[in-house]
Amino acid sequence: MIEFTDFQGTGPEFHFLHANGYPPACYLPLIDLIKEKYHVTGMHLRPLWPGSKPSEISSWHPFSEDFRNFLAEQNFGPIIAAGHSLGAVISLRAALKYPSLFRALILIDPVIFSPRMITSYRLINAVGLSDKFHPWIKGALRRRRKFDNLDALFNAYRRKSIFHYFSDESLWAYIHGIAKPSSQGGFELTFSPEWEAQIYHTGIWPDMDLWKNLPSLSVPTLIIRGSETDTFLPAAARRIKRIRPEIVITSVKEATHLVPLEKPQETFDIIQNFLATHLK
């Protein structure tokens, strides 16, 4: 059985799939809002499975098959599926291949780049320079792995610009999500830097299939992006609207790629308005 978190709640089945390096508990401020109206679950991606190895993957495609297998195990029936970043791409690819499993699709700042950027990254990858040019691989491997106490971690992170738009509540949820007690005392990362780096290394360049298959998407779809995102860029958003004009794309002000953690209430309101309109 594939591991998952049951956040509980009552109502229609709502699944939330986490991002690379962001275990499900990081999203509790948003999930606590969602579960007031829905039964919320969140599959754990392979980096959170005991004994899993980064060498198991050479692209992100296996994650979507994991998701499909998880839904088959749980036998939910058609679900509302939301995913952030990597989780959004996994959900989209699964919905393209297995549309009957989904009632609606919510992609939160998905890692979807334009075909031109994918082609450029393919060339970089072909000559073995992806680790050098990818902006986050080296940072992931240098990430601090152990912490003496979480209060000190919170104080250190509170000063970092990346968390500028996080409330204290959201920052604490993030810290409790990424850290777990260590057998040697103190705390350690829940999500290994090696897995995080491998996911970065194996993404983007094999993703032309998303554009090829997007015209066949039959699931009502909402895309939420941060107005200051460096990931889901305007060129990709414009191309998606040309291919599937009915897809709703909404930007959240004063938000980045981490919009579901920065603006949980705004994100929930957008989700709820979309579902109220598109699901009868």
pLDDT for 130 = 65
Dihedral in degrees, nearest 10, Cα atoms 233, 239, 244, 249? 20
* 16 vs 83: CA distance, rounded Å: 5
Interval 191-218 mean pLDDT: 94
CA distances from 271 to 44, 84, 109, 276 (A): 22, 13, 13, 9
Domain spanning 4-278: CATH superfamily: Alpha/Beta hydrolase fold, catalytic domain (3.40.50.1820)
Ordered DSSP codes for 10-56 = SSSEEEEEPBTTB-GGGGHHHHHHHTTTSEEEEEPPGGGSTT--GGG
The answer to whether residues 264 and 82 touch, using CB atoms and an 8 Å cutoff, is no
pLDDT of residue 174 exceeding 80 = yes
Predicted local distance difference test score (pLDDT) of residue 72: 97
Report pLDDT digits (tens) over 91-104: 999 999 999 999 99
Residue 46 backbone phi and psi in degrees, to 5: -50, -35
Mean pLDDT, the chain, whole residue set: 94
Q: Which of 14-18, 30-34, 114-118 has the lowest mean pLDDT?
A: 114-118
- The full set of domain ranges for the chain reads 4-278
Mean pLDDT for 129-153 is 81
Phi-psi map region of 242: left, alpha, beta (phi>0 left; psi -120 to 50 alpha):
alpha
Please give the pLDDT value at position 139.
81
State the average pLDDT over residues 7-16.
Answer: 97
CB contact at 8 A, 198 and 57: yes
Predicted confidence (pLDDT) at residue 142 exceeds the cutoff of 90: no
- C-alpha pair distances (Å), 144 with each of 6, 23, 178, 179: 29, 16, 11, 11
Q: How far apart are CA 4 and CA 17, in angstroms?
A: 10
Q: At what angle do helices 150-158 and 168-178 cross, to 10 degrees?
A: 130
| Confidence band, pLDDT 50/70/90 cuts, at residue 132 | low
Please report, as a single letter, which amino acid is at residue 55: S
Q: What is the pLDDT of residue 129?
A: 64
Q: pTM score, two decimals?
A: 0.96
Helix, coil or strand: residue 244: coil
Residue 226 to residue 109: CA distance in whole angstroms: 7
127 has a pLDDT exceeding 80: no
Cα-Cα-Cα-Cα torsion 34, 178, 173, 73, nearest 10 degrees, comes to 20
Q: What percent of the chain lies above the pLDDT cut of 70?
A: 96
Q: What would the pLDDT profile of 32-78 be if each residue is shown by its tens digit?
A: 999 999 999 999 999 999 999 999 999 999 999 999 999 999 999 99
